Structure 1
Amino acid sequence: MNNLKKFLFNLITDKNTSFWVLPFKIVLSLFSFLYFIIIKIIFLFCSFRRKKFKVKIISIGNITWGGTGKTPLAKNIAEYLKEKNYSVAILGRFSDEISLLSKKLKDIPIVITCHKKEGIEKAIREYSPDIIILDDGFQQWGLEKDLDIVVIDSLNPFGNGWLIPRGILREPISSLKRADILVLNKVDLIKIDLDSLKELLRKINPNVPIFEALYVPKYLENLRNGKKEELDILREKDICLFSGIASPESLRYTVEKLGYKTKLVFEFLDHYLYKESDLIEICSRCIKEGIKELLTTEKDAIRLKPLIEKVSERFVSLSIFSLIVELEILDSEKFYARLLTFFNN
């Protein structure tokens, strides 16, 4: 199953450029056209019966598959509004990201639901919030929202330009005209001209405010004992980098900027469910290569901790860390001022 998923992922991201996969790409292109027709019909149907709630609703979403940073942004906004004495609740589907939110936001209620309308009703009924934040709400076309924020991965804004399943787009790029605010994430890692991307976005949505964001490494967490460690302890050391996230290249760039020497890399698909055998293989390769430090992401750590406990005695010479990062909005004062403007109006 994992091999099939990897094969399909390489198709939709055009990482597989072999001539023999061309028939598969043609078939996926036809399904993309069908997908386009279906979402257009659903969008039109929902447009005539949008549900309006008395509570203020902020949607934070994207138009692509994969991690753009919408959940970390939801966390930042929730914390800011809490400081401003607003009562806030967050809605989201069960995921690694939501699990991290639950861990970090102890005093902000999080409603886990697959059905946003029912989730909003539950949040209103149980918590009476002033504002509800929808994590991944841009495609909730049947809801009346007060603010639609879209997060874009600057490293890979729109993939190959195709809709699902030929590409990673959940909606056509033209759908960004519905956005009230655009946030370009990972701007410190971008290899192309950021102004060109902004110019394209302004052609789609001329008056939309565009903000920039990036992930700032804060510290390392030792996954054996839970201790916080300074970022410097791995500087100039050979490490094994492994992850199961949507954008492993952004992790590689970040680690490179920190001055870590990546000698061994294991990259799994997003939300990969690690098996004990996976961790044993990774650790065994590290011992063979003379590597003593392993590094992964905070999101991966959620799935790895139970496995680390099982194999820890077998690989006592190895240290396994997760890199803890925080999303930082550049010109954050202007961003939050703009956000509050929507509610004041």
Structure 2
Amino acid sequence: MTLASVWENAWYGKARWVYLLAPVAWLFRVLARRRRVRLERGAVAFDVPVVVVGNISVGGTGKTPLLIALVQRLQEAGHKPGVVSRGYGGKAPGYPLMVSPDTPVTHCGDEPLTIARATRCPVCVGPDRVDATQVLRQKGCDIVLSDDGLQHYRLARDLEIAVVDGARAFGNGWCLPVGPLREPVERLNEVDWVVVNGSGDKVRQQAPTLRTTQYAMTVTPDVWHRVSDDARASLTHFAPQTPVHAVAGIGNPDRFFATLKSLGLEPIPHRFADHHHYRPGELVFQPAFPVVMTAKDAVKCQAFAQADWWYLSVSATLPEAFWNDFLKRIDALKSTPEANSIP
């Protein structure tokens, strides 16, 4: 069990010892609020719509499938979107760094590379999203989506989408370190949309005063890809009840394991820390069943993947009401760019 899983079990379970850290959590809230006020005073705006896709909790909520779906819808509508990201887990010779499908994952991180390969849109990573956004503007992007930038307040934003894991919701409802929240639940009343990955019942129970429009998102498996060469196979590639070694170095690995069970497989779970950088020997298991993983894991394993290693691609589905509202807001923003923004 990793240190991260110990904390997550406490936040999403019924551990009592975390409440000993309540004074630290209150201090965290005060400092986070002061930081936000300070950064917003000098926030940098751009002359194109900036859409932030983020969350208020630590761990995976389904942001990456949603971000990919947003990019693809914008492309279909004739826009030229680009994505900025922190590039967590990567270390490049210099920043900002433009990401291509061939960029070493060690330079850009797993999520930006996954997005670049899935959408072929411009992706720029760097610790300063303002600098990265400026690069995308120079590349001709007319919309910028910020991956996991809800708390990056130096970048002014026109729209905010907060993603919530419907199964885990807000854990014990506390901010770090007592709970999993980066900001209190009330922050969701300031965003434009709340997208719930899965059922919204638990979210409504824990946040009955949430006023922001909520939409349910369903993440469904698409197709199997061989990790070594990206060759495709249908979802029926594995016979029912096939045992597989299931590798997951993501924020919520249990969701991936549940998906495999829904496909009729018998996963043997192997949990790794989020953004874990794999080494060849780590994924040699006995018995020698096939190894399956997520797309985010696969970009870090392709160089040494064996023939029976596969990753599962997924798609995010949202109601048409969301897409109509989202695209309408984008069109309105593009017709009235801010006069005091950076061209």
Q: CA RMSD for the aligned pairs?
A: 2.5
Question: TM-score of the superposition, structure 2-length normalised?
Answer: 0.82
Asked if the contact 1:146/1:342 (under 8 Å) is kept, the reply is no
Letter in 2 for 1:328: T
Q: Deviations over 1:63-107 (max 9, x none)?
A: 11122122222221122112222222211122311111111222x
1:178-257 → structure 2 map (5 Å cutoff): 178-185=190-197, 187=198, 194-195=200-201, 197-198=203-204, 200-201=206-207, 203-204=209-210, 206=211, 208-234=212-238, 235-257=240-262
Q: 1:115 aligns with which of 103, 128, 131?
A: 128
Deviation, 1:8, is 4.8
Query: Which residue matches 1:103?
Result: 117
Residue 202 and residue 46 in structure 1: after superposition, are their counterparts in 2 closer, same or farther (change >3 A)?
farther
Q: 1:298 aligns with which of 286, 295, 299?
A: 295
Residue 223 and residue 141 in structure 1: after superposition, are their counterparts in 2 closer, same or farther (change >3 A)?
closer
Query: Which residue matches 1:315?
Result: none
Larger Rg: 1
Deviation, 1:306, is 2.4
**How far apart, CA to CA, are the structure 1 residues paired with 2:140 and 2:207?**
36
Asked if the contact 1:90/1:132 (under 8 Å) is kept, the reply is yes
Residue 15 and residue 238 in structure 1: after superposition, are their counterparts in 2 closer, same or farther (change >3 A)?
farther
2:70 counterpart of 1:83? no
Residue 200 and residue 174 in structure 1: after superposition, are their counterparts in 2 closer, same or farther (change >3 A)?
same
**How far apart, CA to CA, are the structure 1 residues paired with 2:217 and 2:273?**
24
**How far apart, CA to CA, are the structure 1 residues paired with 2:13 and 2:156?**
42
Letter in 1 for 2:118: K
2:143 counterpart of 1:131? yes
Residue 232 and residue 40 in structure 1: after superposition, are their counterparts in 2 closer, same or farther (change >3 A)?
same
**How far apart, CA to CA, are the structure 1 residues paired with 2:228 and 2:136?**
36
Asked if the contact 2:11/2:171 (under 8 Å) is kept, the reply is no
**How far apart, CA to CA, are the structure 1 residues paired with 2:192 and 2:252?**
25
Structure 1 segments unaligned to the other structure (5+ residues): 313-317
1:155-174 → structure 2 map (5 Å cutoff): 155-174=167-186
Letter in 2 for 1:197: V
**How far apart, CA to CA, are the structure 2 residues paired with 1:202 and 1:341?**
28
2:286 counterpart of 1:272? no
Greater alpha carbon shift after TM alignment, 133-142 vs 55-64: 133-142
Deviation, 1:127, is 1.9
Asked if the contact 1:162/1:168 (under 8 Å) is kept, the reply is yes
Greater alpha carbon shift after TM alignment, 7-16 vs 132-141: 7-16
Asked if the contact 2:11/2:179 (under 8 Å) is kept, the reply is no
Q: Which has the higher helix share?
A: 1
Deviation, 1:157, is 1.5
Asked if the contact 1:13/1:167 (under 8 Å) is kept, the reply is no
Asked if the contact 2:25/2:177 (under 8 Å) is kept, the reply is yes
Percent identical pairs in the alignment equals 23
Deviation, 1:30, is 3.6
Question: TM-score of the superposition, structure 1-length normalised?
Answer: 0.82
